[in-house]
Structure 1
């Protein structure tokens, strides 16, 4: 079953796109799967405890909010559920959380002045975390964009919802199979909750903050949830394959399953290719913007080895950080005035009143139209 679960997770376009990227969500997903799986291992030992701690530490180090979302259900299970109660599990979960959160806490005091200050600034950067409903936003980003912020103008393409529908079908079939096949052999096993219960609760715990608190969406946010649901979905898929092969028209059933899976993989590959193409075009745009900036005395452009003695600060209305990096400048924050900005890079937007007299230079040949550079005189 494990290879099937890995194939379901690895076949998602989000996984194909992000697994090799410097983004935390895939690594958080792997830490979550490892921690939950070893927590549920029937024969606990120092190795399994170490594995639980390592998985939670990895997830927490990569993304602290996800790490605590993983650790909380496991900690409650280790404290409250008799079948899983034990000092070893409790210490493993708490140790993993502490190990992963310690670097974050140290950095919070060094760079932000404290944990509360860092959380406050993080909330502001995320657009003010608050109770809301983002379910529809996460449906819309299943086919991209990579970051939907804001999501008001993004629609839902029916073909992109196929994974959610397939996931619902497979998880339901997997749960039905587990319930049908569960036959306790002893009184202790009769009182033991199904392992899938804790897995699903952990998957839900990771997803809920993004669905209820974050005012925007990105498809990678739910990668850990997809990874934790994959084993149950894999069991459901194997069950459906078995049912199809056991029927009178076995080849028809097997063919139908094959067509559905083939269509699913085709959609995922096309989505991965489409989003990769868009991202490649965006990166080319950043280089073209940097070249225009360099021609007008700002930054070092995108030429390898280029240098400039004049420091520069870049402002704009989109992609300011990557643009500044490519141009060799520092990114400027939101400003009500020119401050120390060397230039403004705007896309499909008019300059603020204080920059209307700055020389305007259009950026030619871009993948996305509307890039304009305003250089401070």
Structure 2
């Protein structure tokens, strides 16, 4: 019989049901969670093709540890956690398919662990449903196998809140303390600022609310945040002019953080736009947006249900952490990416699952079959919409990534081979696919001067990428122009005279 955690402050169930003396052969306890995690991994491998190729940001993170291309410029907002996460594969193999399989398996394991932490705080059926709700969102399936940090912030956030509640309920639970520290470190390792926002309610409780004060939990939480963000902070002083300067640069790169309602931007991104910047154009069709509006309504309903079931504090804490981690992405930036809100979605998944199960199982005479039918139809329609958006997004990403690979092939035919440099339009991903360094003389990724670039062009292949009709920079106007797919490349004297055909 699995142990149920008695949480006076959380209101979890205080009595375990008596043993029946019979052993069920059906999945029970963690086995349900394992099945959800396994299904999530398989869905990633089937629906998000492992050969999709690497995206723009992925090439930056992977290049830091891989040998396929020189390390791309690492801008101020980025953290190196995802680079270290992919290092066991990327450090010795350039296979994108192998990396995708590795990350899909790892993301499934992460989902299982994060849900497993909550066993005893909520019924298993709620946790399994929460895992299914979160893992069937198109944005979760799309980013689970990608070398991007947001999914891992989400996993760390859910695990951290669960371990925090367990540690608060049982001061002798050493595993909970370790869980708080490690999950906080995981978040800070991936995105330090997100980690701070996600843990603000936890820090507030252990510092400001007497009945929640726990020096051991505070030490575990702060130690985890410091351990995870330590390298990022040290790097700020070594390479970015200090912590304040790095934060300032990060804000500038993100368009200047300040009061800005980004709800409309986020809604526009729900149709499958990986990055909505500038976020213009029409809104997606209403069925694509419906789940986004239903999510907070169901989460609030879940909170009401949890309060009545004496586990209200746990649900309210989930909602509080979801609100703080989502705040900067909904109120402080002028663009959107659907992956930004992954931590919000996973924290809301448990209250939403609680509400759905209550609607289906609550006694109500003739209303219960009607509610169950409506919920089933709603979920079925939701899955159809999610998978349709996912298929559209995967197709678009695959075409885009293949375009970069084709451009790289044409550049190789022109003689642009390592060691080489590329600058200009989409230089970061194209340089990675070509095996070159990506360099820029201005903008957020400025890492070379025009004079240094011209001198390099006398020794090694150097190319300036532009779109048709755009003029090259002044230093490249005498360089030889070649058509490479949908782009024009101006080649320095070292490689002039090549043939892209």
TM surpasses 0.5: yes
Q: Helix, strand or coil for the counterpart of 1:360?
A: strand
Which ranges in structure 2 are unaligned for 5 or more consecutive residues? 1-125, 444-448, 455-461, 494-501
1:25 corresponding residue in structure 2: 150
1:375 corresponding residue in structure 2: 491
Q: 1:343 aligns with which of 426, 441, 463?
A: 463
Size of the alignment, in residue pairs?
351
Q: 1:102 aligns with which of 230, 238, 257?
A: 230
Does 1:140 pair with 2:268?
yes
Offset of 1:57 from its aligned partner?
0.8
CA contact (8 A) 2:262 2:333 kept: yes
CA contact (8 A) 1:247 1:253 kept: no
Offset of 1:132 from its aligned partner?
2.1
Offset of 1:39 from its aligned partner?
1.1
Distance (Å, rounded) in 2 between the aligned partners of 1:216 and 1:334: 25
CA contact (8 A) 2:411 2:484 kept: no
2:421 corresponding residue in structure 1: 313
After the TM superposition, which residues 355-366 of structure 1 pair with which residues of structure 2 at under 5 Å, given as runs?
355=476, 358-364=479-485
**Which piece of structure 1 moves more, 245-254 or 230-239?**
245-254
Which ranges in structure 1 are unaligned for 5 or more consecutive residues? 184-192, 301-307, 365-369
Does 1:114 pair with 2:242?
yes
Q: Which TM-score applies when normalising by structure 2?
A: 0.65
Offset of 1:363 from its aligned partner?
3.3
Q: 1:2 aligns with which of 116, 124, 127?
A: 127
Does 1:93 pair with 2:221?
yes
Offset of 1:18 from its aligned partner?
0.9
Q: Which TM-score applies when normalising by structure 1?
A: 0.85
Does 1:56 pair with 2:184?
yes
Distance (Å, rounded) in 2 between the aligned partners of 1:203 and 1:331: 37
Offset of 1:83 from its aligned partner?
2.9
Q: 1:177 to 1:348 in 2, by over 3 A?
A: farther
CA contact (8 A) 2:359 2:372 kept: no
Superposed CA RMSD in Å reads: 2.3
Q: 1:227 aligns with which of 346, 360, 366?
A: 346
Distance (Å, rounded) in 2 between the aligned partners of 1:126 and 1:154: 23
Q: Write out per-residue CA displacement over residues 71-100 of structure 1, whole angstroms, 9 at most, x where no aligned residue.
A: 222111111223321111211111111111
Q: Helix, strand or coil for the counterpart of 1:40?
A: helix
Distance (Å, rounded) in 2 between the aligned partners of 1:137 and 1:329: 34
Q: 1:35 aligns with which of 151, 160, 169?
A: 160
After the TM superposition, which residues 1-377 of structure 1 pair with which residues of structure 2 at under 5 Å, given as runs?
1-41=126-166, 42-44=169-171, 45-153=173-281, 155-182=283-310, 194-243=313-362, 246-248=364-366, 250-298=368-416, 300=417, 308=418, 311-317=419-425, 319-335=426-442, 338-339=450-451, 340=453, 342-347=462-467, 350-352=470-472, 354=474, 355=476, 358-364=479-485, 370-377=486-493
